[in-house]
Amino acid sequence: MYYLGVDLGGMSIKAGLVNEAYEIVATKTIPTGRGKSSKEVLKDMAMLCKDVLTEANLTEADIDSIGIGSPGIASPEDGIILSSSNLNFDHVNVRAEIQKYLSCDVYVENDANCAALGEAIAGAAKGEKNVVVVTLGTGVGGGIINDGKIYRGAFCGAGEVGHQVIVKDGITCGCGRKGCWEQYASATALIRQAQEVTKEHINSKIVSFAGGKIENITAKNVFDAAQAGDHIAAEVLKKYFQYVAMGLTNLINILEPSMIVLGGGMSAQGDYLVKPIKEFVQAEMYGGLSLKTKIRAAELGNPAGIIGAALLGTTIK
Ligand SMILES: [Zn+2]
């Protein structure tokens, strides 16, 4: 048996065929296409799914279900995307459209939740039932896995871990609040923090690793400079890790997961990211209790979204 997973984005649609060992065995990508109606986009998607099956010499009969990860809010049981500003989708019945072309079970889910499910079933948190996946990227995204299933909340919008306020009257966030965790713990925030500090410390290795230009600093430059012994970089990272740990400790106090998985581009830093964050979380633990929640770097990277989408049906049926 195989599972089809689709990552529906504003720029591209990626479809992947996943086997029972949770590996992607065939994949295809097409542009989403600007200005297309939802019906047109979903027809393209159905054709893409057929192409992937053909490439793998399989038919609809070989697949268990199709799962689709999309930005915005989705109602997985009904197969409906309730709202997605990136795609201009408003209460679109994805299941009904896809089933015009393919006679399979169809499920939809928020893309960050799909990535979390992928890591929980097939990645860093394989075997864990209560997991929070936190993605430190352009923003801070996440997904909560409760007893092996995505926790959606009452209205399908749960898991927005990046929008917990950690600084009163802090930096204005895209969501409209001030001082959201995302403004301090994202990769974007780390870059901004490094840029502010290096204005005063232009000789820091962070700047030389960025080719001498503060505006070109990347998150990796900060890690590389710290590992090369640059104490300014070490100071920037220390503050950044404290911000990350603050939000993670909030999540642990409320949800008590057995594992937190840190995803996003920075997860490639492995122990350089995870070890110091763990220490700061331990220091903030409720009543000084020892930290039981494991903290790990994500393992799957980008394919997590497709794998999680593909396996959606197995957690819903
Ligand atoms: Zn926010």
**Mean pLDDT, the chain, as a whole number?**
95
Ligand 1 centroid–CA 160 distance in Å is 9
Ligand 1 centroid–CA 182 distance in Å is 6
Question: What integer is the mean pLDDT of 307-313?
Answer: 96
Looking at the structure, tell me whether residues 223 and 100 fall in a common domain: no
Q: Is the pLDDT of residue 316 over 90?
A: no
Confidence (pTM): 0.91
Ligand 1 centroid–CA 253 distance in Å is 20
Looking at the structure, tell me whether residues 58 and 140 fall in a common domain: no
Looking at the structure, tell me whether residues 193 and 46 fall in a common domain: no
Count of structural domains, the chain: 2
d(CA 201, CA 210): 14
Looking at the structure, tell me whether residues 260 and 237 fall in a common domain: yes
Looking at the structure, tell me whether residues 242 and 211 fall in a common domain: yes
Looking at the structure, tell me whether residues 106 and 250 fall in a common domain: no
What pLDDT digit, counting tens, does each position of 245-264 carry? Answer: 999 999 999 999 999 999 98
Question: What integer is the mean pLDDT of 8-24?
Answer: 95
Ligand 1 centroid–CA 165 distance in Å is 7
Looking at the structure, tell me whether residues 137 and 275 fall in a common domain: yes
pLDDT band for position 163 (cuts 50, 70, 90): very high
Ligand 1 centroid–CA 93 distance in Å is 29
Looking at the structure, tell me whether residues 135 and 280 fall in a common domain: yes
pLDDT value for 289: 87
Ligand 1 centroid–CA 180 distance in Å is 5
Domain encompassing residue 144: 127-297
Looking at the structure, tell me whether residues 55 and 103 fall in a common domain: yes
Ligand 1 centroid–CA 262 distance in Å is 19
Question: What are the beta bridge partners of residue 13?
Answer: 8, 30
Looking at the structure, tell me whether residues 153 and 257 fall in a common domain: yes
What residues are neighbours of ligand 1 (ion), with CB under 5 Å? 163, 173, 175, 177, 180
Ligand 1 centroid–CA 59 distance in Å is 44
pLDDT value for 301: 85
Looking at the structure, tell me whether residues 87 and 187 fall in a common domain: no
What pLDDT digit, counting tens, does each position of 265-295 carry? Answer: 899 999 999 999 999 999 999 888 899 999 9
Give the long-range contacts of residues 290-296, CB within 8 A, separation 24 or more.
291/252, 292/258, 293/252, 293/256, 293/257, 293/258, 293/259, 293/260, 294/128, 294/258, 294/259, 294/260, 295/248, 295/259, 295/260, 295/262, 296/124, 296/125, 296/259, 296/260, 296/261, 296/262
Ligand 1 centroid–CA 169 distance in Å is 12
Looking at the structure, tell me whether residues 284 and 161 fall in a common domain: yes
Whichever domain contains 280, its CATH number is 3.30.420.40
pLDDT band for position 95 (cuts 50, 70, 90): very high
